Structure 1
């Protein structure tokens, strides 16, 4: 996709689109942070599960990373409705993940472990789709940007999607713990190595 430094008019279009993206991501962060706060306020209300907390951390890290990189959309010269729709759908994936991690109530479940495992197909389905959309979003920001992330990015994304398929099918607690810890550790490592400055 052809890119150049954003002209004033293009920047105005980006700012117009950014408002809706900010609202969606704001709802996502609010859901995650308020969910964490509720766990602190009422630790005995529902049984806490470390794996669930791991995916909460992963989701929060990804929302922050998403918003960091979206500035590069300001370099897009020609906005279309299709591109606008895609970015909105992609941002909405994080809200879906946030709601799945912190539902309105858990009255029909024994705790977060019971809830998470019962809804694992939905969560990992959305997680895998989100990672796939991230590849498209990265390409939209420019082929140079995609190349700058190296082959590692595509390999890691493919591995995450495959592991999500496995996670959606198994209830094995050891697998889920290792997957959650690995996902969080890799996201932190990736952020440290690639999130320097916006240019």
Structure 2
């Protein structure tokens, strides 16, 4: 990109495109939950499914907030912009896998989720890798701040995603979503809970 625009001028444009995709993911999740509220007897609710809905909703909101750190990026390229769009699309696709257009050939949302778990956890594992690149884009200081998380949590959760792809064991999936929610809540509390 030519040097006519500064990073400060480019960032709002990038954030709008990402916001549209994140907003579509949040909308998908909220509309799906609204179906349960509107027609409680039509679909069977599942702890695993609803817990993942909550986890991905929290992940999308957390992601959106953390992308504010892109404000400090000075050197933008189409490659960086395209990468960020792809990362956001991966998060959106996880929302779609939680609330597909229809589940007629499945017994319930949980049945759909467990049958499509390879896609869901494949995307979740991919999002972990993409997050490392995203953290790097935000600069060395930002990367250093999350170094322990990247070196410890990311590989551990990546392995758990691979295991989740292989098993339909409900206890494992309940443990997995519980760990995911606990991790997100912990990070949100640590990063945003205390005034600075």
Alignment partner of 2:124 out of 116, 127, 135: 127
The runs of 5 or more residues in structure 1 that have no matched partner are 1-7
Give the superposition deviation at 1:195. Answer: 2.9
TM-score normalised to the size of structure 1? 0.91
- Provide the rounded CA distance (Å) in 1 between the counterparts of 2:194 and 2:9: 22
* Cα pair distance change 1:116/1:56, threshold 3 Å: same
TM-score normalised to the size of structure 2? 0.92
Aligned equivalent of 1:101: 98
- Provide the rounded CA distance (Å) in 2 between the counterparts of 1:198 and 1:128: 32
Aligned equivalent of 2:50: 53
- Provide the rounded CA distance (Å) in 1 between the counterparts of 2:195 and 2:132: 19
Aligned equivalent of 2:185: 188
CA contact (8 A) 1:55 1:180 kept: yes
Q: Deviations over 1:50-82 (max 9, x none)?
A: 011111111111111111111111111111010
- Provide the rounded CA distance (Å) in 2 between the counterparts of 1:154 and 1:59: 22
- Provide the rounded CA distance (Å) in 2 between the counterparts of 1:198 and 1:17: 28
Say which structure, 1 or 2, has more relative contact order (CA 8 Å, 6+ apart): 1
- Provide the rounded CA distance (Å) in 2 between the counterparts of 1:172 and 1:18: 39
Matched, 1:83 2:80: yes
Q: Give secondary structure in 1 for the equivalent of 2:6.
A: helix
- Provide the rounded CA distance (Å) in 1 between the counterparts of 2:77 and 2:38: 45
CA contact (8 A) 1:93 1:126 kept: yes
The runs of 5 or more residues in structure 2 that have no matched partner are none
- Tell me the C-alpha RMSD between the 2 structures: 1.7
- Kindly tell me the number of residue pairs found equivalent between the two proteins: 192
Alignment partner of 2:156 out of 159, 179, 189: 159
Q: Give secondary structure in 2 for the equivalent of 1:107.
A: coil
CA contact (8 A) 2:6 2:74 kept: no
